[in-house]
Protein backbone atom coordinates (compact mmCIF):
# COMPACT_ATOMS: atom_id res chain seq x y z
CA UNK A 1 0.00 0.00 0.00
CA UNK A 2 1.06 3.60 -0.58
CA UNK A 3 0.27 6.90 1.11
CA UNK A 4 0.51 8.75 -2.21
CA UNK A 5 -2.38 11.03 -3.19
CA UNK A 6 -3.07 11.72 -6.86
CA UNK A 7 -5.16 14.44 -8.50
CA UNK A 8 -6.91 13.06 -11.58
CA UNK A 9 -8.67 15.43 -14.00
CA UNK A 10 -10.82 13.68 -16.62
CA UNK A 11 -14.31 14.54 -17.90
CA UNK A 12 -15.08 11.17 -19.52
CA UNK A 13 -17.00 9.34 -16.78
CA UNK A 14 -16.39 5.85 -18.13
CA UNK A 15 -12.64 6.31 -18.52
CA UNK A 16 -12.42 8.20 -15.24
CA UNK A 17 -14.16 5.46 -13.29
CA UNK A 18 -11.92 2.79 -14.86
CA UNK A 19 -8.71 4.69 -14.10
CA UNK A 20 -9.79 5.56 -10.56
CA UNK A 21 -10.60 1.95 -9.73
CA UNK A 22 -7.24 0.76 -11.07
CA UNK A 23 -5.33 3.39 -9.09
CA UNK A 24 -7.25 2.72 -5.89
CA UNK A 25 -6.71 -1.04 -6.26
CA UNK A 26 -2.96 -0.27 -6.25
CA UNK A 27 -3.33 1.66 -3.01
CA UNK A 28 -3.28 5.23 -4.31
CA UNK A 29 -5.57 7.89 -2.94
CA UNK A 30 -7.36 9.64 -5.81
CA UNK A 31 -9.12 12.99 -6.04
CA UNK A 32 -11.08 12.97 -9.31
CA UNK A 33 -12.22 16.21 -10.96
CA UNK A 34 -14.23 16.37 -14.19
CA UNK A 35 -12.96 19.86 -15.09
CA UNK A 36 -9.98 22.03 -14.30
CA UNK A 37 -11.92 24.62 -12.31
CA UNK A 38 -10.71 23.49 -8.86
CA UNK A 39 -7.35 22.12 -10.01
CA UNK A 40 -5.19 24.78 -8.35
CA UNK A 41 -7.11 24.42 -5.09
CA UNK A 42 -6.89 20.61 -4.98
CA UNK A 43 -3.31 20.28 -6.26
CA UNK A 44 -1.74 21.46 -3.01
CA UNK A 45 -2.78 18.28 -1.19
CA UNK A 46 -1.63 15.85 -3.88
CA UNK A 47 1.75 14.54 -4.98
CA UNK A 48 1.11 14.07 -8.71
CA UNK A 49 -1.43 15.25 -11.29
CA UNK A 50 -2.89 13.08 -14.06
CA UNK A 51 -4.40 15.53 -16.53
CA UNK A 52 -6.52 14.89 -19.62
CA UNK A 53 -6.13 17.30 -22.54
CA UNK A 54 -9.76 17.50 -23.66
CA UNK A 55 -11.72 19.13 -20.85
CA UNK A 56 -14.84 21.32 -20.71
CA UNK A 57 -14.01 24.97 -20.22
CA UNK A 58 -10.26 25.36 -19.81
CA UNK A 59 -8.39 22.74 -21.81
CA UNK A 60 -5.73 20.54 -20.23
CA UNK A 61 -2.85 22.53 -21.70
CA UNK A 62 -4.06 25.72 -20.01
CA UNK A 63 -4.79 23.95 -16.71
CA UNK A 64 -1.38 22.25 -16.79
CA UNK A 65 0.50 25.48 -17.44
CA UNK A 66 -1.25 27.16 -14.51
CA UNK A 67 -0.53 24.20 -12.23
CA UNK A 68 3.15 24.18 -13.18
CA UNK A 69 3.44 27.91 -12.63
CA UNK A 70 2.00 27.67 -9.11
CA UNK A 71 3.51 24.27 -8.19
CA UNK A 72 6.73 23.93 -10.25
CA UNK A 73 7.85 20.74 -8.45
CA UNK A 74 4.50 18.94 -8.80
CA UNK A 75 4.81 16.24 -11.49
CA UNK A 76 2.18 16.30 -14.23
CA UNK A 77 1.30 13.33 -16.43
CA UNK A 78 -0.76 14.31 -19.50
CA UNK A 79 -3.31 11.91 -20.99
CA UNK A 80 -4.64 12.41 -24.49
CA UNK A 81 -6.11 10.65 -27.50
CA UNK A 82 -4.18 13.16 -29.59
CA UNK A 83 -1.12 11.46 -31.06
CA UNK A 84 0.36 14.23 -33.24
CA UNK A 85 3.90 15.31 -32.44
CA UNK A 86 2.74 18.95 -32.16
CA UNK A 87 0.31 18.07 -29.36
CA UNK A 88 2.96 16.04 -27.54
CA UNK A 89 5.51 18.83 -27.82
CA UNK A 90 2.97 21.35 -26.55
CA UNK A 91 2.17 19.15 -23.57
CA UNK A 92 5.80 18.40 -22.77
CA UNK A 93 6.62 22.12 -22.56
CA UNK A 94 5.24 21.96 -19.01
CA UNK A 95 4.26 18.33 -18.31
CA UNK A 96 6.70 15.70 -17.07
CA UNK A 97 5.29 12.90 -19.22
CA UNK A 98 2.69 12.37 -21.94
CA UNK A 99 0.69 9.15 -22.35
CA UNK A 100 -1.58 8.59 -25.35
CA UNK A 101 -4.93 6.81 -25.16
CA UNK A 102 -5.72 3.96 -25.20
CA UNK A 103 -3.24 2.73 -22.61
CA UNK A 104 -2.82 -0.28 -20.34
CA UNK A 105 -3.25 0.40 -16.59
CA UNK A 106 0.12 -1.25 -15.89
CA UNK A 107 1.82 1.32 -18.11
CA UNK A 108 0.03 4.18 -16.34
CA UNK A 109 1.15 2.84 -12.95
CA UNK A 110 4.74 2.38 -14.16
CA UNK A 111 4.90 5.97 -15.42
CA UNK A 112 3.41 7.31 -12.19
CA UNK A 113 5.99 5.42 -10.14
CA UNK A 114 8.85 6.74 -12.29
CA UNK A 115 7.64 10.34 -11.88
CA UNK A 116 7.19 9.93 -8.12
CA UNK A 117 10.69 8.52 -7.71
CA UNK A 118 12.12 11.34 -9.80
CA UNK A 119 10.52 14.00 -7.60
CA UNK A 120 11.22 12.30 -4.29
CA UNK A 121 7.60 11.58 -3.41
CA UNK A 122 6.92 8.38 -1.47
CA UNK A 123 7.67 5.53 -3.84
CA UNK A 124 11.05 4.23 -2.68
CA UNK A 125 11.09 0.95 -4.52
CA UNK A 126 13.30 0.73 -7.64
CA UNK A 127 11.68 0.02 -10.98
CA UNK A 128 11.79 -3.73 -11.62
CA UNK A 129 12.18 -4.92 -15.21
CA UNK A 130 12.59 -8.72 -15.36
CA UNK A 131 15.79 -9.42 -13.33
CA UNK A 132 16.87 -5.76 -13.29
CA UNK A 133 16.35 -3.15 -10.60
CA UNK A 134 16.60 0.41 -11.90
CA UNK A 135 17.39 3.01 -9.22
CA UNK A 136 16.60 6.12 -11.22
CA UNK A 137 17.64 8.73 -8.65
CA UNK A 138 21.07 7.12 -8.33
CA UNK A 139 21.39 6.23 -12.02
CA UNK A 140 22.10 2.64 -10.99
CA UNK A 141 21.06 -0.66 -12.56
CA UNK A 142 21.44 -3.81 -10.49
CA UNK A 143 21.14 -7.43 -11.58
CA UNK A 144 18.78 -8.80 -8.94
CA UNK A 145 19.95 -12.38 -9.56
CA UNK A 146 23.60 -11.64 -8.76
CA UNK A 147 23.34 -8.41 -6.75
CA UNK A 148 25.96 -6.85 -9.04
CA UNK A 149 25.70 -3.36 -10.47
CA UNK A 150 25.63 -3.20 -14.27
CA UNK A 151 27.93 -0.49 -15.59
CA UNK A 152 26.77 1.17 -18.80
CA UNK A 153 28.45 3.75 -21.00
CA UNK A 154 26.85 7.18 -21.17
CA UNK A 155 25.13 6.47 -24.49
CA UNK A 156 23.95 3.03 -23.35
CA UNK A 157 22.46 4.48 -20.18
CA UNK A 158 20.75 7.30 -22.10
CA UNK A 159 19.20 4.84 -24.56
CA UNK A 160 17.91 2.56 -21.80
CA UNK A 161 16.69 5.49 -19.69
CA UNK A 162 14.85 6.92 -22.71
CA UNK A 163 13.10 3.60 -23.33
CA UNK A 164 12.18 3.35 -19.63
CA UNK A 165 10.73 6.86 -19.66
CA UNK A 166 8.47 5.62 -22.46
CA UNK A 167 7.82 2.25 -20.85
CA UNK A 168 5.60 0.01 -22.94
CA UNK A 169 5.66 2.37 -25.92
CA UNK A 170 7.21 1.49 -29.27
CA UNK A 171 9.87 4.13 -29.91
CA UNK A 172 11.13 4.55 -33.44
CA UNK A 173 14.80 4.49 -34.31
CA UNK A 174 14.46 8.13 -35.32
CA UNK A 175 12.99 9.14 -31.95
CA UNK A 176 15.66 7.31 -29.94
CA UNK A 177 18.56 8.56 -32.04
CA UNK A 178 17.41 12.18 -31.99
CA UNK A 179 16.77 12.05 -28.21
CA UNK A 180 20.16 10.49 -27.36
CA UNK A 181 22.47 11.95 -30.01
CA UNK A 182 20.60 15.22 -30.58
CA UNK A 183 20.94 14.80 -34.32
CA UNK A 184 18.82 13.64 -37.26
CA UNK A 185 18.73 9.89 -37.85
CA UNK A 186 19.88 8.86 -41.32
CA UNK A 187 18.25 5.78 -42.80
CA UNK A 188 20.69 2.87 -42.82
CA UNK A 189 22.84 4.23 -39.96
CA UNK A 190 23.90 1.25 -37.81
CA UNK A 191 25.07 3.28 -34.79
CA UNK A 192 21.92 2.75 -32.72
CA UNK A 193 21.72 -0.93 -33.62
CA UNK A 194 25.31 -1.48 -32.46
CA UNK A 195 24.62 0.30 -29.14
CA UNK A 196 21.47 -1.78 -28.61
CA UNK A 197 23.47 -4.96 -29.22
CA UNK A 198 26.11 -3.99 -26.63
CA UNK A 199 23.34 -2.90 -24.23
CA UNK A 200 21.67 -6.30 -24.52
CA UNK A 201 24.98 -8.03 -23.84
CA UNK A 202 25.02 -6.29 -20.46
CA UNK A 203 21.32 -6.43 -19.57
CA UNK A 204 19.85 -9.61 -21.00
CA UNK A 205 20.15 -13.17 -19.69
CA UNK A 206 20.50 -14.26 -23.31
CA UNK A 207 21.24 -11.37 -25.72
CA UNK A 208 20.24 -13.60 -28.65
CA UNK A 209 16.75 -13.98 -27.16
CA UNK A 210 16.12 -10.55 -25.57
CA UNK A 211 13.37 -10.26 -22.95
CA UNK A 212 13.97 -6.66 -21.89
CA UNK A 213 14.66 -4.61 -25.03
CA UNK A 214 12.23 -5.84 -27.66
CA UNK A 215 12.88 -5.20 -31.37
CA UNK A 216 9.83 -4.06 -33.32
CA UNK A 217 10.91 -5.03 -36.82
CA UNK A 218 11.10 -2.14 -39.23
CA UNK A 219 10.10 0.41 -36.57
CA UNK A 220 12.28 0.53 -33.47
CA UNK A 221 12.40 -0.79 -29.91
CA UNK A 222 10.34 -1.15 -26.76
CA UNK A 223 10.80 -2.07 -23.09
CA UNK A 224 7.71 -3.81 -21.76
CA UNK A 225 6.48 -2.89 -18.24
CB distance 70 to 39 below 8 Å:
no
Task: Write out residues in the chain with pLDDT < 50, as ranges.
Answer: 1, 121-124
Q: What is the DSSP letter of 130?
A: T
- Residue 194 pLDDT: 97
The alpha-carbon radius of gyration of the chain (Å, integer) is 18
- Using DSSP's 3-state secondary structure scheme, residue 156 falls into helix
Task: Provide the pairing of β-strand 48-52 with 76-80.
Answer: parallel
Selection from 126, 113, 103, 165 nearest residue 4 by Cα: 113
Q: Record the pTM.
A: 0.53
Q: What is the pLDDT of residue 217?
A: 94
pLDDT of residue 1: 39
Contact 35, 57 (CB under 8 A): yes
Do the beta carbons of residue 184 and residue 176 sit within 8 Å? no
Surface-to-core class of residue 100, CB atoms within 10 Å of its CB (0-12 exposed, 13-18 middle, 19+ buried): middle
Residue 203: the pLDDT is 97
Query: Please, what is the end-to-end C-alpha distance for the chain in angstroms?
Result: 20
Amino acid sequence: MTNTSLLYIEDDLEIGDWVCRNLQERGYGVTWLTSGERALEEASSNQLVILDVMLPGLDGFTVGQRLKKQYPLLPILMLSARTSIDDKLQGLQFADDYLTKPFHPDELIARIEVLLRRTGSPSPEPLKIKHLLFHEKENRIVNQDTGEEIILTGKQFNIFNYLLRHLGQIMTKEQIYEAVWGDTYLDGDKTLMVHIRHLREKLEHDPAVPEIIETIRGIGYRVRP
